[in-house]
Amino acid sequence: MKNRWLVFISCLLLLNFFPAFSQTNLLGDANRDGRVNIVDALLVAQFYIGLMPSGFIQEAVDVDYNCSINIVDALLIAQYYVGLIKEFPGNGLIYSFTGNLNNGLINGVPVNYGTISKYSNGVVTISFDGGPGFEWVWLYSPEHKAMVKGEGTVWTADLGSYSEGLSLEYYFVVRKNGFEANNNDQPHRLVVSSSANGNSGGCTELPEKSPAPGEWRIVWEDNFDGSNRPDQANWNYHVGNGYNRGSGGFGGWGNGEWEWYRPENAYQHDGKLVIRADYLNSPVSIANRDWFQFSSRITTQGKHAWKYGRFEALIALPSAAGTWPAFWMLGESCDASFIDEYNPPMDYYDDMAGNWSSCGEIDIMEHRNSENLVVHNLFWDTRIGLFPWEDGLTHFDPRENVPVDDVTLFHLYTIEWNEKDIRWYVDRETHQEPTKIMNITADNMEEYHKPFFLIFNLALQGGFTGPTDPVTSDFPLYMYIDYVRVWQKN
């Protein structure tokens, strides 16, 4: 009997789905058949849980006008159909956002910088969720000549006197835990348009349906929208020159690198992660050695690691003698030390991994000097298991001649990694063929079936760059990361 009901309901939904291509655009009419009924409510509910494609779902089903299609919209449509409500909330008006709405950071603590909680009868309510340590917010709208400052977190503006197409811009200053932040460089904007019996403008980004099985979805990302210190919830640091516990000295992270890494040389600015390399006129004495070159190496080690997925970042590189920027991964079992502090003592340094390469390495992108080429690579141990490093027992498989038009411009560097192989891409959205494919099913490649963490760094000199020394006048040098994302299949 249960199966019969499922068949009946499925047939009912299919019969009501096919008229979806009519021109009717009635508010709440999910399948656009000119009626608002229980079928529309069921379709929206199925869309919400990922059972229906997104093509037929239009803004007309966002009946509470909150730029989100969810179970509340389905319930409102059902209530409208049975007569419990006479009209949908919002009075026939919809809104859309542009601007940096979320993921703001103050002193490493996230703040939601403004959410439309209500838009009804020409009045918009903007609420702030400052969280613990919130002190006050100051808001200003040039169009409204209105402002509010105080501990209250709600600001209202009457838009009733404005016509369709109103664009309301507002600025804020918020104070939290003794720190202040503002959005002067990217104001928020609210756009309002008429939608009598249907939506004509709408949200700039309506949510897509839940990914179907086998589809990629973003499981973690950092867009570097804050300022100064990178998000403490995401990033730790490798400090120093890679102390080798076995030899009892610094070996340039096993590569003969010249730089001393410091956390402060990695910071957020203008919506990007910046890694700055400096060449000092006078050295800094650390651990009984003089260091002229300083840079940064930032990692998700100890905070985030993943097994399999798509890993990518949009990066602009320096192009100068003696530079070695990289976007890469190490296995979570690598025993290198790291630190969470952003300003550790100058004499602090981390140990390099003593069990490399048996913990595994994936080089998504490496670049050297001023070449218009990048390198992909893997490193793994010939043995099975975790072991202290031994000379002659490391396998590697590079591709060193991947062309890039201009490395100083932003390019998307990607790997797609599954249980069978790893595929590398450069600008995968326009160049869909992989630049390298590596099979990882060999018994002694068990490293690549365990979680890995991410690393960005800008090294100076070393075996990879060859005998090309950095030029003092080129400094400071910069590596820019616009965003980094991790995708996994549903």
| Residue ending a domain, choose from 194, 224, 250 | 194
Listed residue (106, 342, 335, 366) closest to 237, CA to CA = 342
The whole-angstrom separation of Cα 360 and Cα 394 is 10
Structure tokens belonging to residue 385: 């298991």
What is the mean predicted confidence (pLDDT) over 277-290?
A: 96
Residues 104 and 140 in one domain: yes
For 4, counting Cβ atoms within 10 Å of its Cβ (0-12 exposed, 13-18 middle, 19+ buried), the class is exposed
Residues 238 and 366 in one domain: yes
What is the mean predicted confidence (pLDDT) over 58-71?
A: 66
pLDDT of residue 102: 39
**In sequence order, which residues have a C-beta less than 8 Å from that of residue 260 and are 6 or more positions away?**
240, 241, 284, 286, 291, 293, 294, 295
Q: What single string gives the DSSP state of each residue in 269-322?
A: ETTEEEEEEEEEEEEEEETTEEEEEEE-EEE-TTT--BSSEEEEEEEE----TT
Residues 76 and 97 in one domain: no
Q: For the whole model, what pTM was predicted?
A: 0.61
Residues 383 and 361 in one domain: yes
Place of tokens 């291509």: 21
405 in a domain, yes or no?
yes
Decide if 258 contacts 294 (C-beta within 8 A).
no
Residues 349 and 244 in one domain: yes
Listed residue (257, 458, 239) closest to 342, CA to CA = 239
Task: Flag whether pLDDT at 115 surpasses 60.
Answer: no
Q: What single string gives the DSSP state of each residue in 383-405?
A: SSS-----TT-EEE--EEEEE-S
pLDDT of residue 175: 65
What's the pLDDT band for 173 if we cut at 50, 70, 90? Answer: low
pLDDT of residue 469: 87
Task: Flag whether pLDDT at 201 surpasses 50.
Answer: no
123 in a domain, yes or no?
yes
More confident residue, 191 or 413: 413
211 in a domain, yes or no?
no
Residues 257 and 349 in one domain: yes
Strand 123-129 relative to strand 109-120, pairing: antiparallel
Residues 22 and 138 in one domain: no
Structure tokens belonging to residue 229: 């210190």
Lowest mean pLDDT across 24-33, 161-170, 467-476: 161-170
120 in a domain, yes or no?
yes
The whole-angstrom separation of Cα 164 and Cα 397 is 60
Task: Flag whether pLDDT at 140 surpasses 70.
Answer: no
Decide if 458 contacts 427 (C-beta within 8 A).
no
CATH number, domain at 78? 1.10.1330.10
Listed residue (298, 352, 357, 305) closest to 326, CA to CA = 298
Listed residue (175, 166, 141) closest to 156, CA to CA = 141
Residues 169 and 74 in one domain: no
pLDDT of residue 49: 76
Average pLDDT in the chain: 78
Residues 189 and 221 in one domain: no
More confident residue, 436 or 146: 436
**Residues 248-268: pLDDT tens digits?**
999 999 999 999 999 999 999
The one-letter amino acid code at 44 reads V
Q: What single string gives the DSSP state of each residue in 202-253?
A: --SSPPPPPPPTT-EEEEEEE---S-BSPPTTT-EE--BS-EETTTTEE-II
116 in a domain, yes or no?
yes
What's the pLDDT band for 390 if we cut at 50, 70, 90? Answer: very high
- Give whole-number Cα distances, 67 to 22, 42, 72, 116, 126, in Å: 24, 19, 12, 9, 14
181 in a domain, yes or no?
yes
**Residues 409-442: pLDDT tens digits?**
999 999 999 999 999 999 998 899 999 999 999 9
Lowest mean pLDDT across 66-75, 102-111, 195-204: 195-204
Residues 220 and 279 in one domain: yes
pLDDT of residue 322: 96
What is the mean predicted confidence (pLDDT) over 280-287?
A: 96
In 3-state terms, what secondary structure has residue 448? Answer: helix
CATH number, domain at 354? 2.60.120.200
**Residues 8-56: pLDDT tens digits?**
444 444 444 433 333 344 677 777 676 788 988 888 888 777 676 544 4
343 in a domain, yes or no?
yes
**Domain count within the chain:** 3
Q: Which domain holds residue 166?
A: 93-194
391 in a domain, yes or no?
yes
Structure tokens belonging to residue 206: 């309506």
What is the mean predicted confidence (pLDDT) over 84-92?
A: 60
Residues 247 and 154 in one domain: no
| Residue ending a domain, choose from 135, 164, 194 | 194
What is the mean predicted confidence (pLDDT) over 97-116?
A: 42
pLDDT of residue 84: 79
The one-letter amino acid code at 15 reads L
CATH number, domain at 173? 2.60.40.10
Residues 47 and 139 in one domain: no
